[in-house]
Structure 1
Amino acid sequence: MKTKLYHLLEHRAADCRYFVIPVWKGSGYTTMFMQVQMPHILFTGLEDYKARGTQAAPYFTVSHYKEFAETKDLVLIRGDIVFVNKLTDSEAKWLLETAQSFYLNDTRYKLVERFNKKTSEFDFKDVLRALDMPVM
């Protein structure tokens, strides 16, 4: 990731730390709850988070490494799937790319802001539409 994009992600994540992203699984989707504490991002199942709160174990963790930010204009990213029975490699890759798109795309970021700041106005169907997923 380019350093400029990382700084935008970091700035927006400091303001809006949480979001929900559906991951398509065959005939439906599983909703993932995302918590951003830069340089880390944690993903867990929304149902697990509802049941266990902060004690819910992450399914997937992402860490950003800024060692090359100044010299190479590059931030390295490492993702680790904690529960391989909950998330495949391709789903985790898609989840990270999608999460980044919600924080780095101005239009999509409005949904993140609404989720964090105007909860009563947030509609999950808007996330599904943004991702071209069927509204069920």
Structure 2
Amino acid sequence: MYRASNQLICTFLRCGRRLGANSSLGQVVRLEELLKKSREEVIDIWLAYHSDAQGCRVGSVLSSQECDTFAARAAESPMFVLPLSKPAGYETLLVQCQMPYVLVTGLEEFKRSARTVTELLRAFYISSEDYQLVHTFNHQPAKFDFGALLRKLNIQA
């Protein structure tokens, strides 16, 4: 995670590859050039860097407040399940937050649906209403209603 101009840039998901050591922002981009760019250009550069043809590297950009919320909630409730809609039902992915990484099972399907998973994670960890499902999953698993999660995502069982 990197902070730049009141914008927090998070690399959320990496799949199918060995996780390397954390890099500094200066190792990832030419910092002196990046500082000359507008907010929108920085976002575009960051997202372009964190995408590739195989879909094995996905990034997202959050505000500082959103990232603080995500990080606090990921520490409090590090695991969740995400049903990923498919033409014939759904596939359930298990998510485990080990900040600054988020690990996701079901790698082959994830590679094809990385953007969807990233946006779902963002929604469930940032939205207070949606986060209740994540919190219940982690802290009161006997009360977790997977059917409610499916209904929330308009996925038919």
When normalised by structure 1's length, the TM-score is 0.67
Higher relative contact order (CA 8 A, sep 6+): 2
Q: Quick one: distance in 1 between partners of 2:144 and 2:75?
A: 19
Corresponding residue for residue 63 of structure 2:
2
Alpha-carbon distance, 1:87 to partner: 3.1
Q: Contact (CA 8 Å) 2:83, 2:93: kept in 1 or not?
A: yes
Which stretches of structure 1, 4 residues or more, deviate above 2 A after TM superposition?
86-89
Corresponding residue for residue 87 of structure 1:
110
1:1-136 aligned at under 5 Å gives the runs: 1-45=62-106, 59=107, 83=108, 86-89=109-112, 91-134=113-156, 136=157
Q: Tell me the number of residue pairs that the alignment of Structure 1 and Structure 2 aligns.
A: 96
Gaps of 5+ in 2: 1-61
RMSD of equivalent CA atoms = 1.2
Gaps of 5+ in 1: 46-58, 60-82
When normalised by structure 2's length, the TM-score is 0.58
Alpha-carbon distance, 1:88 to partner: 4.4
Q: Which has the larger radius of gyration?
A: 2
